[in-house]
Structure 1
């Protein structure tokens, strides 16, 4: 089965051997307060910083998912409110969840074919956290590095948090331009679901210490104190952390991965742009995602494409949110090999050219 679903997506084929190695090395039953896990945790944190260009003074934490990070950030970094900038379902869900915990949270939606309107944002001085999704998986849009820089420069005194679930470990993100980044590993990391990565700047940690919120098991200040000794507050997903260690050791550095994914994204957009029965949902090339392509057609054709593809052992992504019925999605993640995309192209040329 060729898997182009945008998460959980294809895992690296080497994971099969990693799993057996994890069993043989005894890591699966290792105490999470013991030296074997501490060494594993320390190694993974160091590899994440080196391989993904994360600043050395940023802190890294293990969570269960990116969704859990929404909760951690709201409860541990905001007393009053956050401000959410979104154009799709996942950014909106983050906003809606934040409002449940902090009813004063504010948000603004922008169009999927427009860049984030940084110059037009009216964010009050009592806002404690600015939140946005770098790569919106539901509609195939992205917030560019230059836009993130503009946001950083305009609201320099306010913490910024970035959901990078569909781009971390695939794109060379400029982590220094935001205070918090987080992702789950079932997309560009090429691993099974069940592990989240939360990256925090010294400013974010300082704010967490100031608030000193300790009412939850996953309070950020508690995560920080445990991670000083490379431990977690909860019993962690040791297996996935081990798989992450092995994956990082065997993959190229993020600069090369970014080049490869960008080149392939350009080729895929050019390829799909030639069809007339369906079209690219995002018309503005500047804001098109490099890791998730979204194609639009009438509902009947979308269902036909997905069914025919599945009959040929090709799994395409369903549409999501408002675009659930009239789109399908194609992941462009590092674990998916170039020859698999050639097979995908042959399928579309055969049936829909």
Structure 2
């Protein structure tokens, strides 16, 4: 019997990926040149499907990276001359901040305890911060910042570049790209693909900043995958270096599948499944929601504190071929994390609930 993966990444593969992968093998997609018309057509198709899915305007480019983590470094090198500002409330937002310090940027931070969320009204962006770094969905703690709150914060700080991490939530968040300058995700979570590729979406304002910094002899914006180099090749739907051509093909196909369903339907289904899970967790004596404020609870990575060791809970799921994630870091043995991505159905979520209910 096959496993169902409720792990928050790598996660359950999207059901159609098998047929897309077979067609890619039949058409020898993995062997084509990244300087060929066939590749340019694949990249263009992926670009068109993502633009439709996420409502990305022509002012933003869609670039290929090796991972989402790579974008932390690319964004900081290309768009921060001196100062960045980071909202930190979990391990991955912390890593974005750590990257800024490692690159010798003057990094400001507003920090909240693990499991607590941010609202725009409580945030004061430092005057000289050039980029505001926000994590929409903190994979480690199951906290989301509502897009409406991110938009409010940008409107209060219109001259700042805003970079939003949507690694474990895309395509769920309804971001207004007239306000968001940069965002990024990886393919092994909600897009239901194996790990191995990141997507960086960046605006012309980010490009202009990178081009200005590139002229400064006292700075470096990097030597590999600089934003000006990415954008130069992107104009022709090419890449500076050989990319993961197979994954570009697969992402275009899965984004097309999502568009056939409709993004509104995907968002509604995500929220319905999240309600099922939170209702169960709140009503059970064996679990409780880790994130106390309902408005800050993730819809895509549900985190529950377990009364028994989380390894016991995970073992119950595994015995039924249903795998959930452990807690992150110091919460490894006291929490579980449940991925609520499009690849899993309401029926599978209901079966998982039935299994988790067997802890007693």
TM-score, normalised with respect to structure 2 = 0.93
Cα RMSD, aligned residues only: 1.6
Q: Distance in 1 between matches of 2:161 and 2:254?
A: 31
CA 1:348/1:264 → structure 2, altered by over 3 Å: closer, same or farther?
A: same
1:268 to 2:269 alignment:
no
Q: Distance in 2 between matches of 1:303 and 1:349?
A: 15
Q: Distance in 1 between matches of 2:79 and 2:266?
A: 32
Q: Distance in 1 between matches of 2:329 and 2:313?
A: 19
1:323 to 2:325 alignment:
no
Q: Which residue number in structure 2 is paired with residue 63 of structure 1?
A: 65
Q: Which residue number in structure 1 is paired with residue 262 of structure 2?
A: 253
Q: Distance in 2 between matches of 1:39 and 1:265?
A: 37
Q: What is the Cα deviation at residue 214 of structure 1? A: 5.3
1:332-351 residue pairs with structure 2 within 5 A?
332-351=340-359
Q: Choose which of 165, 186, 211 in structure 2 pairs with 1:184.
A: 186
Q: Distance in 2 between matches of 1:323 and 1:177?
A: 35
Q: Choose which of 275, 286, 292 in structure 1 pairs with 2:301.
A: 292
> Which moved further from structure 2: 119-128 or 227-236?
119-128
Q: Which residue number in structure 1 is paired with residue 251 of structure 2?
A: 244
Q: Distance in 2 between matches of 1:16 and 1:173?
A: 30
Q: What is the Cα deviation at residue 155 of structure 1? A: 1.1
Q: What is the Cα deviation at residue 301 of structure 1? A: 2.7
Q: How many residues align?
A: 351
Q: What is the Cα deviation at residue 117 of structure 1? A: 4.6
Q: Which residue number in structure 2 is paired with residue 94 of structure 1?
A: 96
CA 1:80/1:273 → structure 2, altered by over 3 Å: closer, same or farther?
A: same
- Aligned to 2:59, what secondary structure does the other structure show? coil
- Aligned to 2:106, what secondary structure does the other structure show? coil
Q: What is the Cα deviation at residue 272 of structure 1? A: 1.5
Q: Which residue number in structure 1 is paired with residue 217 of structure 2?
A: none
Q: Distance in 2 between matches of 1:162 and 1:75?
A: 16
Q: What is the Cα deviation at residue 81 of structure 1? A: 2.0
Q: Distance in 2 between matches of 1:267 and 1:342?
A: 8
> Which moved further from structure 2: 153-162 or 342-351?
342-351
CA contact (8 A) 2:116 2:291 kept: no
Q: Distance in 1 between matches of 2:249 and 2:228?
A: 25
Q: What is the Cα deviation at residue 313 of structure 1? A: 1.2
Show structure 2 runs of 5+ residues with no match. Answer: 215-219
Q: Deviations over 1:160-215 (max 9, x none)?
A: 10010011123333333311010001111111111111111222222122222553
Q: What is the Cα deviation at residue 92 of structure 1? A: 0.3
Q: Distance in 2 between matches of 1:110 and 1:169?
A: 26
